Structure 1
């Protein structure tokens, strides 16, 4: 397993990475990560699903520079209320 080799070589591997066996597993993991999103300590905007068989990755290849064997599943945008405390209006060097 490539990921295990990278870990043995000292690379940091996310403990949130899993190998899914079904679409239901993917969706469940998506919701798990979405629930933990605000407490991770870093910003994320979704999860990425990848085919983990190198032969399939080679066979499926790329389309317009993007891998056909990986897809991003984005979370809904975070929303929050804020208060504008002040607005500073400035004129730039071109007068706008």
Structure 2
């Protein structure tokens, strides 16, 4: 019996494959978080509703990937800002205690 783990056959997203999903959808790059999130929710709703051709479904899926990447980037940026603000407050508090 082999000790190797079976290869994961779960489909990987374009982001996991190292593909930039925003490259094919440059119009989403400048969207704010809320707008990208709302459009992503609409994409998901349309995909779940079905009734689309394969080509339409793939195009929507790709746009959804690009929108998800924008959301992730915006959230990461917000998290960095919060972390910097918290670090600044902590540094000020430590300076005041000395």
TM-score (norm: length of structure 1): 0.27
Higher helix share: 2
User: Highest relative contact order (Cα 8 Å, sep 6+), 1 or 2?
Assistant: 2
TM-score (norm: length of structure 2): 0.27
Higher strand share: 1
